[in-house]
């Protein structure tokens, strides 16, 4: 009788042990979690971001776009400020005589005046009109002219600076002085193109 009871107890203990510690395969490692429960961590790929993570990613993307937009605006504002300075400097030279090859102060040829004014605004330009047109990347059409833009005429043989209101400042030719002229139909007919330094 005693032996039978012992055998039953042994069998119950073995059954309890088997229930408490089931066999674990090598592909799914298990760990004990809260309250002694067995948890099998997932070994599949990471799930898509949800909740706070998704909102964080969207916020980062929006911030990046905003930063790029602000950078473009800042560049445009800086260019406008430099253009304003260049126009102001050029206007101060009104009355100075034309002299071929001169880039100031006191006397200018057409490209020398552009070089001088934009240099005072912090932008370097080549010495010759044709080189100024080719070097400055930002090209501008007649209808999109803004203050400070350089306008080229006669096959790049002459250059002036747009000052707004349909006018430009330039050093015209031998015997003339730096002045502001209205952009007439004659000027438009000989117009080759324009550029925007500092853009």
pTM: 0.66
Q: How confident is the model at residue 86 (pLDDT cuts 50, 70, 90)?
A: very high
Please tell me which residue, 29 or 88, carries the higher pLDDT value: 88
The 10 Å CB-count burial string (b at 16+, else e) for 61-79 is eeeeeeeeeeeeeeeeeeb
CA angle 60, 61, 67 (to 5 degrees): 85
pLDDT reading at 38 higher than 80: no
Q: How confident is the model at residue 18 (pLDDT cuts 50, 70, 90)?
A: very low
pLDDT of residue 59: 55
What are 97-153's pLDDT values in tens digits?
A: 999 999 999 999 999 999 999 999 999 999 999 999 999 999 999 999 999 999 999
Q: How confident is the model at residue 33 (pLDDT cuts 50, 70, 90)?
A: very low
Q: How far is CA 176 from the centre of its chain?
A: 42
Q: How confident is the model at residue 176 (pLDDT cuts 50, 70, 90)?
A: very high
Q: Which domains does the chain have, with CATH numbers?
A: 65-195 (3.90.1720.10)
pLDDT of residue 73: 74
Q: How far is 104 from 115, CA to CA, in rounded Å? A: 9
**Around 146, how many Cα atoms within 13 Å sit in the side-chain half-sphere?**
17
What is the DSSP secondary-structure string of the chain?
Answer: -HHHHHHHHHHHHHHHHHHHS----TTS--EE-GGG-EE----SPPPPP-THHHHHHHHHHHHHHHHHHHHHHHHHHHHHHHHHHHHHHHHHTTTPBB-TT-BSSS-B-HHHHHHHHHHHTT----SSHHHHHHH---EE-GGG--TT-EEEETTTTEEEEEEETTEEEE--STT-B-EEEE--HHHHHTEEEEE-TT-
pLDDT reading at 30 higher than 90: no
Q: 110 an active-site residue?
A: yes
Residue 152 and residue 129 in contact, taking contact as beta carbons nearer than 8 Å = yes
């Amino acid at each position: 009788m005693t032996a039978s009871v012992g055998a039953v107890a042994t069998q119950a203990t073995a059954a309890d042990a088997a229930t408490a510690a089931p066999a674990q395969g090598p592909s799914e490692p298990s760990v004990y979690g809260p309250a002694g429960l067995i948890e099998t961590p997932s070994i599949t790929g990471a799930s898509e971001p949800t909740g706070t993570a998704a909102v964080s990613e969207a916020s980062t993307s929006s911030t990046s776009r905003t930063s790029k937009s602000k950078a473009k605006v800042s560049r445009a504002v800086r260019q406008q400020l430099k253009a304003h300075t260049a126009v102001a400097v050029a206007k101060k030279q009104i009355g100075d005589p034309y002299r071929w090859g001169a880039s100031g102060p006191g006397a200018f040829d057409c490209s020398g005046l552009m070089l001088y004014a934009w240099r005072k605004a912090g932008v370097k330009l080549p010495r010759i009109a044709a080189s100024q047109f080719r070097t400055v990347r930002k090209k501008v059409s007649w209808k999109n002219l803004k203050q400070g833009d350089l306008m080229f005429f006669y096959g790049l043989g002459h250059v002036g600076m747009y000052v707004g209101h349909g006018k430009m400042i330039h050093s015209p030719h031998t015997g003339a002085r730096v002045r502001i002229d209205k952009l007439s139909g004659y000027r438009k007919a000989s117009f080759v193109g324009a550029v925007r330094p500092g853009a």
